[in-house]
Structures are given as C-alpha cells and as structure tokens.
Amino acid sequence: MQQRNPRLRWLVVWALAVVWMALVVARLGYLQLFCYSEYFSRAQRQQQRVFEISPMRGTIYDRKGHELAVSLPMDSVFGDPAEITDVEMVARLLSGVLNVSADDLETKIREARTPVRLARKLSPETVQRITDMNLKGVFFQKENRRVYPQRELAASVLGYVDVDEKGIGGIEYSLDKRIRGRPGKMMVMADGRRRQYDRSESAPDPGASVTLTIDETIQYIAEKELGRAISETHAKAGTVVVQDPNSGELLAVANWPVFDPNNAGSYSDESRTDRAVASAYEPGSTFKVITLTGAIEHGVANPDQLIDCQMGQILVAGRLIHDWKKFGVLSVRGVLEHSSDVGAIKIALRLGAPRFYDTIRDFGIGQPTGIELPGENRGLLRPPANWSASSIGSLAIGQEVSVTPIQITSAISAVANGGTLYRPHIVREIDGNTSAPLPAVPAAQQATDGRTAATVRQMMEGVVFEGTGTPARLDGYTAAGKSGTAQKIDPATGRYSTSQYNASFVGFAPVNTPVVTILVVLDSPVGPHHGGEVGGPVFKRIAEQVLAYLHVPHDMRAPSDVETAKNMRVAPSSGAASAGAPDLTKERFAAAVAKTKQPAAAAPTVAFGDPSAIVVPDLTGQTVRGVTEKCSRLGLAPLLIGSGVAVEQYPEGGAQVLRGSRVTVRFGRPGELQPVAARGNGN
C-alpha cells in the first residue's frame, strides 16, 4: 500500500489550524467590535450596583434668615446578601424593629445580587436598636430628610417633597432644580459569588439656599387671624395676602385649609392647594376700584359729580340689575363708599367698553403675574368682541371676570403706591452655584397716573371712614380699602347662588405712605356674609399688628382724631351742585387745627430763646415723606391730612414749640400753595 505524503498531511493540518484560528479571531473580533457594549453592560449589571446618594437640599429662609425648610442627614439601612448567612433570622429580627413583614424583607434580600435598601430615613432610636443587634451584612448609609420646623406655617408657599427628595408643590417644586442640587453615587463591585471587593463614592453637590420675601412673624399673624375668621364665620376656605405695595414683595400668603408638609400625604388635595395663586373667583365690589379709576383717569367722572342711582335698579340691555340698597343721588365718591352697583354701572357706561377693557388690562387682570409659585391661574377676562350687550354692566360690579387673590392685591397696591403695577414676587435671593437660571421678576408697568391714584386713594379712605368698610377702621392709623360681596355660581343650576358668597376686603395703610396692602377672602361664610362686616375686622386685626411689628409711626394720634375726621367728611346733599361740594380735606384740616387750639390740647408754646424750644420749619411745598422725615428729626409729631404736597400747616413756620408737639399739615395740589403771609391762622 502506498504511503501518503507526510507533507500533504502537514499541509492539511496547517490549513485546518489556520481556518480554526481565523474563525476564532473573527469571533473575537465580532465580540470585541460589535458586541462589546452589550456584554460590557451585562458584566456591569452582574458585578456592580449603583446607589444614588440624594444631595442636601438647600435651606429655605424667610426674609430675616429664619429657617422655614431644612434637610437633615438620616440613616437608611441596607442588607448585603453576600455577607448575610442566615437570611431568615436577619429578616425576622429586623421585622420587629422596622415594622415590616419578615417575608417581605427575606424576599428582598434573597432576590438581590448586591446590597439592597431595607428601610429609609430611620429615627436615631431605630438605628441604635439595629446597631445593638450587630447583624453581619447589615449596614447604614446616610440620606437626607426634608424637615419643616414651623410645621403648617407658610406650607402652601413652601410646598413639600416626596420620599426621593423631589419637590412636589410650592417653592420646593418651582425651584427644584436649584434647591435639589446634584446627586452623588455609591458604586459597589461584587464577584461571581456576590462577594464585595470594591466600593466607591462620588459626593453629591448641595442645592442652593433660597431666601423668600415672606416674613415669618407677619405670616404667623396672617395665619392666626385667618384661622380665627374661619372659626367665627364657619367659611369653607379662606386666603389672606399681605404685600409691600412699593415693591410687589409678598410679606405673607396664608390659606385655609392648612396642611403639615412634614406629612403632606395624609392631607387632601384641597388642603395642599395654594388658593392665593391657583383659585380664581369673581371679585365683586372690590373691582369697583378699577372701574372708578378708569373713569377718573379718562375724565368721564370726578369724585364730587352726582350720580342718580335710581333707587336701586337699572336696566342694561334688557337685563334688570338690582342694587343691594335703594340709593338715590350719590356723588362718585359716595358710589364707592356705599358700594352702589347702579352708580358703578352708570360710570362704566360713560367710560365705554374699549377704554374699560384697557384699564382692566393695565391693572394686570386676566394675565399671569409671573410669580415664582407653580400652578398660577391667569383668571378670566374676555376681550370686548366676546362681551354681550350687558357685559359692561356685569364687569363694572366685578362679575363676568375672575381674579386670583394675588392679582387683585397687586392691582390695589398700584393705587396705593401712586399708579405703578409691581408684579408680585416671593423669591428675594438664591444663594448657590447651580447653573439653573434665576426666575425673572416681570418689569413694573404704569397702571394709572399719579394724580388719579391719589384721588382714588382718598375715595377709598372714605370707604373706611364712613362707608361699607367702617369695621376695618384702624386704631392709630389711617386706612383705605374696599369691601366685596360676590355671589358664587351654583354648580347645579349654573346661576348665581342666593346663599353662597365670596366675602372679601382689600385695603392698605397708612393712606399717605402705604406700607402694606392686605387682602382677606372668605369662601362661603355662614350667617353674615358682606365683605365689610366679615372681612373688615380681619383686615383691621392684621393691619394693626403688622404695622406695630414694622414700627410704623401712628398717623392718627387718638381715636377721637378719627371721629373728628369722619364727622368732617360730609357728603354733598342730593340737591347740591358738584361745584358747591365742600372741600373735605380742608374741613378735616380745620377740624384738626381747631382741636389743637383747645386749651387742653394746645401745642405748648415757649418763650423766644428758650433752649428747650424747637422752631417749627416751613413745610409748604414738601411731600408727605419729606414732612414726616423732617418732623421726626426735630422731635415733632406730624398729623398728615390729604395727599400731594404740603399747602397749609399749623403751627406756621417759625413758631416755637416744645419737643413732641403736634404739627398739623394739609396736603393738596401744588396750585393751592400760597405765600406765608396770605395764610390764615387756621380758624
């Protein structure tokens, strides 16, 4: 038999080897080049477990640096299945401490390939009990827990967080990207037998701290008095807003019902709602301030013009509207003071739909304010093209329009500060190195001119002196405001309810140098339901406490001063011509001077050259602020009447009085200024 060629055999072997190696190399190349990502991901899932370490959320402060929301480090317990030898025993022991089913714990440990979290954010007592057990494979990892030390205080503004420290409501939600920071990571490596051989951590970046415009003390006052009002009126809900009219900053936002953000999940959605920004309502008669402002600014009305209120009824485009009281002839001032629906409608008809609509828009109604809180309701304001023939009559008295408490507060603040609409804001400062953009505060805009605003301020002062807002009259301070009583829509019929109302009162104080604007809204009070009688006293209690807390000097020296001023605000009789209407500011000045001249209350004069004497400066031509500052520096007590510039004073410039003496100053238009020699002695 012929032997085969050995060289051929070697050639075959080498050929097979080359083919085999080529296949191996091709396979390896395929796995490395095309399947690398898939197999690398599989290896990572098998060998490593990544835990997210929640960052420390930034602290939320009030405007004075008091902590409203803080994060505290707490221990969470983990179980490592690679180190736990007796899973059943460990699950049974931990079950009694954690109040969790032993079966659930055992299943969680057995199914895990790497350390698994068994319970989160434990109390120090629970941590100590577990530590004392000395269980192998059980360890702790720090996590943060959000705590609200003031509990319900400003809860709707602050909001709350979920178990993963993510913001859910309020500032916690709207600024979550800045407050939350960037989470860290803990990576645990394990071999095929699930034994740990490496662990690494990357530290989280803490979140930015936020300082709000809210004042903790003012917030407490607002919430306390709102709670008292709810208790007295049995209203379903309520809101109080306190704003600085000169900047738009919100000093307090109180809502009822309340909730505790430390345990937010146990409260209803209604309790967690921030009604100040999310709930729109028909404002009712508080809207008449905007109606009359537009009419006065466009020259179709002035405070002393007379309006025939037709004994309480008016027909608008076939719709008969009844007043709350049968009024005859009232001045425009009286229409606001006594809240005549018929009078307001007749004034709005003079103004006309296009100009009325523009006025409403100028005050920010029907537009989002841009406040930093989530869930803002823009309200409702239809363009004139969508109005019915009777809509102007409804809008004049605050119907067919809806506003949020924040919107109407800001609109009244524009009247208080001289005509500038400052967009409301609640974030004062953000301190941190996160890259998320700061929330933009919308620019201020001119809602009305300064002269119109001053006129409406005086008219609103009359509401408090002798109109529907007399329950809101303050002790020691002048105040201006407007009441509102708006029927709610009955969901069953779609018509206005005859028993459910939104009662409100909005105002500011002091009148000449406003420091705060305060809105009170009570939803469906039981029994008395007029805005002045149920909202006015709440305004009074809040305003007096807040002004005292802010150390605002009194501008009404005694209750009798208030009565004197009230008695001198005599409205023109129904038969009097508007040209003959008395100048109420002058009469108030005359009454105040007459009282000062009484022997018991006279400003004590001193002999010329007496070292204890203070020379009264000539204050004519100066603003309210200038007069106040100059008198304060000299130790004099100013009694300020009216608005504009100082046109008359008593005692006159150059007189010598003792420190602490009263100087009565009347303010008016610059055209009223007279030479000193031409002024009388105040009689």
Residues 613 and 487 in one domain: no
In a domain, 117, yes or no: yes
Instruction: Kindly compute the dihedral angle of the four CA atoms of residues 381, 386, 388, 389, in this order, to the nearest 10 degrees.
Output: 100
Q: Rounded CA gap, 546 and 515, in Å?
A: 10
Task: Report the CATH number that the domain containing residue 340 is assigned in CATH.
Answer: 3.40.710.10
Sign of the C-alpha dihedral, residues 317, 321, 326, 330?
negative
Judge whether residue 110 has pLDDT over 60.
yes
Task: Out of 225-234, 348-357, 620-629, pick the least confident.
Answer: 620-629
pLDDT digits (tens, 9 = 90+) for 203-227: 777 889 999 999 999 999 999 999 9
Arithmetic mean of pLDDT, 412-424:
94
Residues 413 and 481 in one domain: yes
Judge whether residue 398 has pLDDT over 60.
yes
Q: Rounded CA gap, 420 and 363, in Å?
A: 9
Arithmetic mean of pLDDT, 455-483:
93
Reported as type and span, the H/E element at residue 657 is strand 656-658
> H-type helices in 139-215, by residue range?
155-158, 170-174, 176-180
Task: Out of 103-117, 503-517, 569-583, pick the least confident.
Answer: 569-583
Reported as type and span, the H/E element at residue 482 is strand 480-489
Judge whether residue 542 has pLDDT over 90.
yes
In a domain, 80, yes or no: yes
Residues 87 and 17 in one domain: no
pLDDT digits (tens, 9 = 90+) for 25-79: 888 887 788 777 777 777 766 666 666 667 788 999 999 999 999 988 877 888 7
In a domain, 27, yes or no: yes
pLDDT given at position 633 = 78
pLDDT given at position 56 = 83
Residues 184 and 227 in one domain: no
Arithmetic mean of pLDDT, 403-410:
96
- Mean pLDDT: which of 131-135, 151-155, 436-440, 601-605 is highest? 151-155
Which residue range is the domain that position 608 belongs to? 573-678
In a domain, 434, yes or no: no
pLDDT range class, residue 659, cuts 50, 70, 90:
confident
pLDDT given at position 171 = 94
Q: Rounded CA gap, 104 and 91, in Å?
A: 8
Residues 325 and 374 in one domain: yes
Task: Report the CATH number that the domain containing residue 661 is assigned in CATH.
Answer: 3.30.10.20
CB-count burial class (<10 Å; 0-12, 13-18, 19+) for 312: middle
In a domain, 566, yes or no: no
Residues 192 and 220 in one domain: no
C-alpha neighbours within 13 Å on the C-beta side of residue 573? 2
Residues 531 and 625 in one domain: no
Percentage of the residues of the chain whose pLDDT score is greater than 70:
83
What are the φ/ψ torsions at residue 604 (nearest 5 degrees)?
-65, 120
Residues 116 and 251 in one domain: no
- 3-class DSSP assignment, residue 496: strand
pLDDT given at position 609 = 45
pLDDT range class, residue 189, cuts 50, 70, 90:
low
In a domain, 494, yes or no: yes
Residues 612 and 633 in one domain: yes
Question: What's the pTM?
Answer: 0.72
In a domain, 152, yes or no: yes
Arithmetic mean of pLDDT, 393-407:
95
Task: Out of 53-62, 197-206, 272-281, 332-341, pick the least confident.
Answer: 197-206
Residues 29 and 96 in one domain: no
Judge whether residue 117 has pLDDT over 70.
yes
Judge whether residue 610 has pLDDT over 70.
no
Q: Rounded CA gap, 271 and 257, in Å?
A: 5
State the chain's mean pLDDT as an integer: 82
Residues 375 and 408 in one domain: yes
Higher pLDDT, 512 or 76: 512
User: What's the domain count of the chain?
Assistant: 4
Residues 151 and 231 in one domain: no
Task: Report the CATH number that the domain containing residue 182 is assigned in CATH.
Answer: 3.90.1310.10
Q: Are 452 and 297 in contact (CB under 8 A)?
A: yes
In a domain, 431, yes or no: no
